[in-house]
Amino acid sequence: MTDIAWIDLALTAARPQALGALLRYFRDLDIAEEAFQEACLRAIKTWPDKGPPRDPAAWLIFVGRNSGIDVVRKRSKNDPLPEEEAFSDLSDAEGDMADRLDNSHYRDDILRLMFICCHPDLPATQQIALALRIVSGLSVAQIARAFLVGDSAMEQRITRAKARVAKAGVPFETPGPLERAERLGIVSSMIYLVFNEGYSAGITNPDSAAFCDEAIRLARLLLRIFPAEPEIMGLLALMLLQHSRARTRIDKDGQIVLLEDQDRSRWDSKLINEALALLDKAIRHRKPGPYQVQAAISALHARAPTPKDTDWKEITMLYGLLERIQPSPVVTLNKAVAVSKLEGPEAALDMIAPLADKLDGYFYFHGVKGGLMMQAGRKPEAREAFDRAIALANSAAECAHIRQQIDKLGAVTPLVE
Amino acid sequence: MLYAILCYAHEETVFAWSKEEEDAVMARLIEVQAPYAQAGKLGPVGRLMPTTAATTVRKGKEEPLVLDGPFAETKEVLLGFYTLDVETLEEAVAFSKALSVVNPGSSSYEIRPFYVFHPGEIKNSETKT
């Protein structure tokens, strides 16, 4: 790795903490970003000669704070110079800065930076784009490629989202415990959105696949600053487990490979082991939550050497728990799949029958229903469900997967219209 | 003398390495280790999982406390270790310097002489990467 490549990584790693602190000082996202940018340029100029600082984030905050003041002065050329007190104590340098970094301020700085990307008025895709731009520091071009839009369209989208955030007002006061817990929950969902965008769009677009790594990085960061939160451990474990199968869930022709057909020897054991360690830690807290339960289910798959060894009884039990803490028809649908492994397709079909109305527009529902019908030998009904699934497929890969199922059905008596 | 060589670095940076970067660094590190391994001087070498996977047990007034996270919240954290059986501190220093040269960014190596408490043998292949 060259010096520049290392510096680039160090700048990216320090970004959330440094930008978060600069946002707190200047109370303006644009000024904070400009100040951070300026500090990064200085870093690229000086670090190769002088060597990297031991604490890159502290260095960037210190340098960024000074450049930020220049930015403010330039902007208000015609106004009187701002009072130094307008910013958080700028007079004293290093000593004060070290104190600030060592206390808990920076946790809330990072959380705030993530939280402002989750404004409820912003649709999911804009939250994802904003978080990747502001928190992760991905370039507009990178994000645009992942969303298959042009650079200028993405630039506009991000600018609009930022304006929205600025208009809503950034919450600068230190949050109380309840508020902090609420923010953690909202930020966790945003991180999972980023992951899922990468997980689903990444099948066909390698530019989105990088989102999965990014989401994992954000979750690690969040857990590092809130180390005793079992749901963050659960979220990170869940994403690590799902990501451990990235190499096997799509075959070389771009077709979806079902969990039971995947080559388990190619699952990433490093990610799985980290996830299992996190899950063990989370369980000690005895505060189950949706991410922990989903991770526990995923871990049971990871622990089974072959599909036959899967502990479906435990999985059914865990889906039951998930139904209680976060009831949703999709959870019941997943539980039905587990039940079908234990009791056969008819029992599962009985379970999903009441979901038909709520999940009528959901690809996966019809796919599962078709599969169960096929197992039960009810071919015409299977065909009908698969046809519905194809109509609702979100990607060519999903479509092709269902076609394969239809091929397995073989010749079927045509349906009477 | 037996030395434990403890490697400290910024984990945000190290865990942000791409697969290619990681492989390149590992190849260079293994190159440094190879002569020591061939001479039978290199003991177990470990890479620690991220500090987010760490748990700390601290002696409390009554029962020991179990805390989430690493022992100390520091900028640079313990990321891995080597065990090395060499004659002199000079050799241990040379080994560590060679590692630091091929390891990008800022990393520090703490050299700690130690006694073998239990040679041990790890049979579970899952814990090996």
Residue A219 has pLDDT above 80, yes or no: yes
Domain hosting residue B94, numbered range: 2-117
d(CA A335, CA A327): 12
Least confident of A2-11, A141-150, A333-342, A362-371: A2-11
d(CA A251, CA A416): 36
Residue A228 has pLDDT above 90, yes or no: yes
Assign residue B67 the CATH number of its domain: 3.30.70.1060
For residue A172, is it within any domain? no
Confidence band, pLDDT 50/70/90 cuts, at residue A83? low
Of A194-208, A209-223, B83-97, highest mean pLDDT:
A209-223
Task: Record the tokens describing residue A223, joined without a space.
Answer: 């857990």
Contacts of A277 in chain B (CB under 8 A): 49, 53
Residue A40 has pLDDT above 90, yes or no: yes
For residue B78, is it within any domain? yes
For residue B105, is it within any domain? yes
Confidence band, pLDDT 50/70/90 cuts, at residue A90? very low
For residue A171, is it within any domain? no
What is the predicted pLDDT for the residue at A89? 43
Assign residue A384 the CATH number of its domain: 1.25.40.10
What is the predicted pLDDT for the residue at A315? 98
Mutate one of B10, B74, B103, B122 to test the A interface: name it (highest A CB count within 10 A): B10
d(CA A398, CA A26): 47
What is the predicted pLDDT for the residue at B11? 85
Interface of A to B at Cβ within 8 Å reads 1, 3, 5-6, 9-10, 12-14, 51-52, 54-56, 217, 220-221, 223-224, 227-228, 233, 236, 269-270, 273-274, 277-278, 281, 284
Least confident of A53-57, A330-334, B40-44: A53-57
Query: What amino acid occupies position B19?
Result: K
For residue A222, is it within any domain? no
Least confident of A215-219, A285-289, A334-338, B125-129: B125-129
Of A85-89, A150-154, A174-178, highest mean pLDDT:
A150-154
Confidence band, pLDDT 50/70/90 cuts, at residue A196? very high
Give me the phi and psi of A289, to 5 degrees please.
-145, 170
Confidence band, pLDDT 50/70/90 cuts, at residue A361? very high
Residue A383 has pLDDT above 60, yes or no: yes
For residue A223, is it within any domain? no
Residue A417 has pLDDT above 80, yes or no: no
What is the predicted pLDDT for the residue at A330? 95
For residue B107, is it within any domain? yes
d(CA A32, CA A64): 8
Give me the phi and psi of B44, to 5 degrees please.
-55, 140
Residue B127 has pLDDT above 70, yes or no: no
Mean pLDDT (chain A) is 89
Residue A300 and residue A357 in one domain: no
What is the predicted pLDDT for the residue at A298? 98
Residue A84 has pLDDT above 80, yes or no: no
What is the predicted pLDDT for the residue at A289? 97
Domain hosting residue A373, numbered range: 335-417
Residue B56 has pLDDT above 70, yes or no: yes
CA B38 centroid distance within chain: 20
Q: How many structural domains does chain B have? A: 1
Give me the phi and psi of B43, to 5 degrees please.
-90, -160
Average pLDDT of A134-163? 93
Residue A412 has pLDDT above 90, yes or no: no
d(CA A113, CA A71): 20
CB contact under 8 A, A55 and B75: yes
Average pLDDT of A126-150? 93
For residue A22, is it within any domain? no
What is the predicted pLDDT for the residue at B28? 93
For residue B124, is it within any domain? no
For residue A411, is it within any domain? yes
> For B84, which DSSP code?
E
For residue B123, is it within any domain? no
- Cβ neighbours of B98 (radius 10 Å): 17
Confidence band, pLDDT 50/70/90 cuts, at residue A93? very low
Contacts of B75 in chain A (CB under 8 A): 54-55
Q: Which residues contact A379 (CB under 8 A, 6 or more apart)?
A: A373, A409, A412, A413
CB contact under 8 A, A278 and B51: no
Least confident of A330-334, A335-339, A363-367, B91-95: B91-95
Q: How many structural domains does chain A have? A: 2
For residue A175, is it within any domain? no
Q: Which of A211, A212, A231, A210 is nearest to A222 (CA)?
A: A231
For residue A53, is it within any domain? no
Percent of chain A whose predicted confidence (pLDDT) is above 70:
91
Residues pairing with B81 in the sheet: B6, B46
A161: left (phi over 0), alpha (psi -120 to 50) or beta: alpha
